[in-house]
Amino acid sequence: MSLRHAILVLLQDQEASGYDLAREFANSIGLVWNATHQQIYLELGKLNDQRMVNFRHVPQEGKPDKKLYSITEEGRQELIRWLRKPAGPARIRDAFMVKVAGGELADTQTLINELELLAKQRRERLATFEALAKKLDEQGREQNLFSYLTVRRGILDQRAWLQWAEEVRQSLHTDLANASAT
Amino acid sequence: MSLRHAILVLLQDQEASGYDLAREFANSIGLVWNATHQQIYLELGKLNDQRMVNFRHVPQEGKPDKKLYSITEEGRQELIRWLRKPAGPARIRDAFMVKVAGGELADTQTLINELELLAKQRRERLATFEALAKKLDEQGREQNLFSYLTVRRGILDQRAWLQWAEEVRQSLHTDLANASAT
DNA sequence: AGTGCTTATACAACGGATTGCGCAGCGCTT
DNA sequence: AAGCGCTGCGCAATCCGTTGTATAAGCACT
């Protein structure tokens, strides 16, 4: 696992609410990750019980009050401990790839439609990440080195997927053409 | 989720034992996925309860007996149903990327060492997949279209990671050089 | 003779993750 | 005025996944 460690990494830079974290998970680290708010709130609760984070109440006008969490010294120690031990292999879970693998049973047109939808989402993400990378680069890459590298990971991942999608798209179209020729 | 669907996809081609499936997960679909044998045996048990697969006992000499599972008509229907509904977004869980994101706290040399280890594993996988792709291509790509595309996904994924790793490696080395120059 | 790898299956326990539900107020559009 | 979407927090149930343990036989190496 390591949702807890991902949260600690994000809190290292700045204090944040559960809601903030959920959004950040959709940007930097979460390019590639994903975590729902329920999971984050739960994990923040546990981290708080274990004294790895603490929070202060911030009343807001117009919006609900929020809890701003910060990392504690104990949290930082835990992070350092975790950083020292080897990371497990990366895991991917790509349902669409499984569909392609089972392509014989699938309806080709349905697959194509889904492919286009997913590709559109990926292209949007790619644009967001490229804009972010550019911004970080202009601000001075060295100051933001680790954020910059994280965003690069996201960019390369989107590009690789899109390249694959293009291959799949062409194969599926050929497949359709052959089927209608019969 | 869809470990169950991934299993059904694999069983669609041929009957297989739990052990066989565990290995196939390390090749075709599992390039990118990963599932342990415990999970697979458990899921096969459930699929059997739900009549989506059945099995026959095969006594073996020298080796333990095995159970060869096949997909049933109900299983095939379930697969078709699943193929029709939209796949969720792909998820990645890359602990090493989280470490890079938290790079300020980490020891640069430790990160570099880990990077080299992971890169070595990726390069090995890449070689395996490229060999597999070549084999499928020679056998006639159209016969193996969906397996071929699945393997391509693995190849592109490995390459993207390795390219990223190269960027990270150079940044970390620059970082080390700067630190020692101070 | 002992160690370890491969084939082969399976249970138990715990912890992580997903899904569904619920509350609450503001602002914008239709 | 009703509906939708955003900010913001949370519980409960269930399901998925991981880790540890167990059994069992053959083969190869030392």
Same domain, A79 and A102: no
Name the nearest CA neighbour of B44 among B78, B19, B26.
Answer: B19
Tell me how many domains chain A contains: 2
Same domain, A116 and A80: no
Nearest-by-Cβ selection for B94 from A32, A103, A114? A32
Q: What's the distance, CA B131 to chain centroid?
A: 16
Chain A partners of B175 at a C-beta cutoff of 8 Å? Answer: 145
Q: How many CA atoms lie within 13 A of B4 on its CB side?
A: 20
Same domain, B160 and B99: yes
Same domain, B75 and B117: no
- B90 within a domain of the structure (yes/no): no
Q: What percent of chain B has pLDDT over 90?
A: 59
∠ Cα A42 A48 A49 (to 5°)? 95
What confidence score (pLDDT) does residue B28 get? 67
**B26: CB within 7 A of chain C nucleic strand:** no
pLDDT at residue B31 greater than cutoff 80:
no
pLDDT at residue B1 greater than cutoff 80:
no
CA end-to-end distance (rounded Å), chain A: 50
Contacts 24+ apart (CB under 8 A), B61-67: B66/B17, B66/B19, B67/B17, B67/B18
Same domain, B13 and B77: yes
In tens, the pLDDT along A152-165 reads: 999 999 999 999 99
What confidence score (pLDDT) does residue B32 get? 58
**Identity of the amino acid at A131:** A
Distance CA(B109)–CA(B106), nearest Å, equals 9
- B64 within a domain of the structure (yes/no): yes
Name the nearest CA neighbour of B96 among B36, B165, B160, B172.
Answer: B165
What tokens were used for B176? 């080390």
Please count the residue pairs, one from chain A and one from chain B, whose beta carbons lie less than 8 angstroms apart.
191
Same domain, B119 and B162: yes
**B64: CB within 7 A of chain D nucleic strand:** yes
Same domain, B101 and B51: no
Three-state secondary-structure class, residue A73: helix
What confidence score (pLDDT) does residue B64 get? 79
**A60: CB within 7 A of chain D nucleic strand:** yes
Q: Which residue from B minimizes the CA distance to A167?
A: B149
Q: Which of B19, B50, B84 is the last residue of a domain?
A: B84
Chain B partners of A12 at a C-beta cutoff of 8 Å? Answer: 102, 104-105
Same domain, B177 and B99: yes
What tokens were used for B167? 């960027």
CA of A121 to C1' of C30 (A): 28
- A89 within a domain of the structure (yes/no): no
CB contact under 8 A, B98 and A9: yes
- Tell me what the mean pLDDT of segment B30-36 comes to: 67
pLDDT at residue B62 greater than cutoff 80:
no
Three-state secondary-structure class, residue A165: helix
- A90 within a domain of the structure (yes/no): no
Q: Which helix (H) or strand (E) holds A68?
A: strand A66-71
With a CB cutoff of 8 Å and minimum separation 6, the contacts of B97 are: A29, A32, A90, A150, A153
**B34: CB within 7 A of chain D nucleic strand:** yes
Q: Which of B65, B84, B103 is the last residue of a domain?
A: B84
Q: Which residue from A minimizes the CA distance to B99?
A: A83
In tens, the pLDDT along A43-76 reads: 999 999 999 999 999 988 778 889 999 999 999 9
- B153 within a domain of the structure (yes/no): yes
Residue labelled with tokens 């026959």: B56
Distance from CA of B53 to the nearest CA of A (A): 16
Q: How confident is the model at residue B29 (pLDDT cuts 50, 70, 90)?
A: low
Same domain, B66 and B143: no
Of B4-8, B139-143, B160-164, the range with the lowest mean pLDDT is: B139-143
Question: Chain D bases under 7 Å from protein CB?
Answer: 7-12, 15-21, 24-27
CA of B61 to C1' of D27 (A): 13
Q: Which of A61, A84, A107 is the last residue of a domain?
A: A84
Same domain, B52 and B110: no
CB contact under 8 A, A150 and B5: no
What tokens were used for A72? 């504690």
pLDDT at residue B34 greater than cutoff 80:
no
What confidence score (pLDDT) does residue A125 get? 87
Q: How confident is the model at residue B11 (pLDDT cuts 50, 70, 90)?
A: very high
In tens, the pLDDT along A108-146 reads: 999 999 999 999 989 988 998 899 899 999 998 888 899
Same domain, A11 and A79: yes
Q: How many CA atoms lie within 13 A of A124 on its CB side?
A: 8
Q: What is the 3-state secondary structure (H, E, C) of chain B?
A: CCHHHHHHHHHHHCCECHHHHHHHCCCCHHHCCCCCHHHHHHHHHHHHHCCCEEEEEECCCCCCCEEEEEECHHHHHHHHHHHHCCCCCCEEECHHHHHHHCHHHCCHHHHHHHHHHHHHHHHHHHHHHHHHHHHHHHCCCCCCHHHHHHHHHHHHHHHHHHHHHHHHHHHHHHHHHHHHHC
Same domain, B106 and B150: yes
What confidence score (pLDDT) does residue B115 get? 94
Q: Residue B120 sits in which domain range?
A: 95-181
For chain B, the average pLDDT equals 89
Chain B partners of A2 at a C-beta cutoff of 8 Å? Answer: 95, 98
CATH number at residue A19: 1.10.10.10
What tokens were used for B172? 């970390």
pLDDT at residue A80 greater than cutoff 60:
yes
Q: What percent of chain B has pLDDT over 70?
A: 95
Q: What percent of chain A has pLDDT over 70?
A: 95
- Tell me what the mean pLDDT of segment A155-181 comes to: 92
